[in-house]
Amino acid sequence: MFNIINLKEVTSTMDVIKNYPVNTIVVADRQTKGRGKNDREWISNESENLYISLSVESKNKNVNYSYYTFLSSVVVIEAIKSLITEDINIKSKWPNDVLVNGKKFCGILLERDLQRNFIVIGIGINVNSHPELIDKMLFKPTNLLEEGISIKKEEILEKFVNIFEEYSNRLLNEGFEWLRKEWLKYAYNLGKEINVKLKDLQVNGIFEDIDKDGTLLIMTEAGIAKILSGDIF
């Protein structure tokens, strides 16, 4: 289903993918202008890590744009788990990070190509190295190798593509409910107290659930709060 394009150095795979038809995966060894959520930089000068973008069509009514972050997190987790035998502490952090041993090694960025009706999913995986913690980062970074998980980036990519194809077909055919349950199996701090940073305020409460739109539901002193976007920290 996906056409895979391997490139050495790009500004950002998020930009380069716009030169290709839908259902393309662009993989780059390095990015000179890698970007993350909220215009944060995604440092990408190490060819030993994975930087990929995928384009998918956004026409299907069953599929809300945000479902692709849940899908990508679950696929990253299952790809990694399928490559190792030992048990690992790997978690999906709402809405778009993946953690190992409580530290971030993978970030997911969703953008829309409105002209062509595409969704572009960008995924950065720190396989063998990670940037130093800087102020703008809300979560401590790490890489898989440092956490004792030694796998090749090519192996992760191959598994990722296979599982992504299978699960995205399932999402199109069956909708979000099975994926919501699958994502919740790995959810970081589910049932525990969390802090969520919104644009201008912070909300504290117990992480209860995510609803059928992917909205975060937390129990605060004032009752259930539905949060559409923010950062858990």
Binding site for ligand BTN (CB under 6 A): 12-14, 31, 34-37, 40, 42, 51-53, 97, 107-109, 122-124
Q: Which helix (H) or strand (E) holds 177?
A: helix 177-185
In the beta sheet, which residues pair with residue 104?
99, 141
123 vs 171, beta carbon nearer ligand BTN? 123
Give least dist CB 25 to ligand BTN, A.
11
CB of 138 to ligand BTN, least distance (A): 10
Tokens of 68: 């692709």
The residue sitting closest to ligand BTN, measured at its beta carbon, is: 107
Q: Which of 49/58 has CB closer to ligand BTN? A: 49
Q: How far is the CB of 211 from ligand BTN (least distance, A)?
A: 23
Q: Compare residues 108 and 149 and give the one whose CB is closer to ligand BTN.
A: 108
What does the block give as tokens for 56?
């998918």
**Residue 91 near residue 186 (C-beta atoms within 8 A):** yes
Q: Closest CB to ligand BTN among 78 and 231?
A: 231
User: 121 and 160 in contact (C-beta within 8 Å)?
Assistant: no
Question: Do residues 166 and 79 make contact, with C-beta atoms less than 8 angstroms apart?
Answer: no
The two three-digit tokens of residue 222, written as one number: 């004032």
CA dihedral 56, 8, 41, 159 (to 10 degrees): 50
Closest CA to 104 of 52, 139, 62: 139
C-beta of 51 vs 205, nearer to ligand BTN? 51
Find the shortest distance in angstroms from Cβ 40 to ligand BTN. Answer: 6
Residue 107 Cβ vs ligand BTN, minimum distance, rounded to whole Å: 2
Query: Which residue number, 13 or 128, has a Cβ lying nearer to ligand BTN?
Result: 13
CB of 78 to ligand BTN, least distance (A): 19
The minimum distance between CB 160 and ligand BTN, in angstroms, equals 12
SS3 label, residue 13: helix
> In the complex with ligand BTN, which residue's Cβ is closer, 40 or 170?
40
Angle at 150 between CA 147 and CA 152, to 5 degrees: 130
* Distance (Å, whole) CA 233 – CA 71: 21
Strands (E) in 126-214, as ranges, are 193-197, 202-210
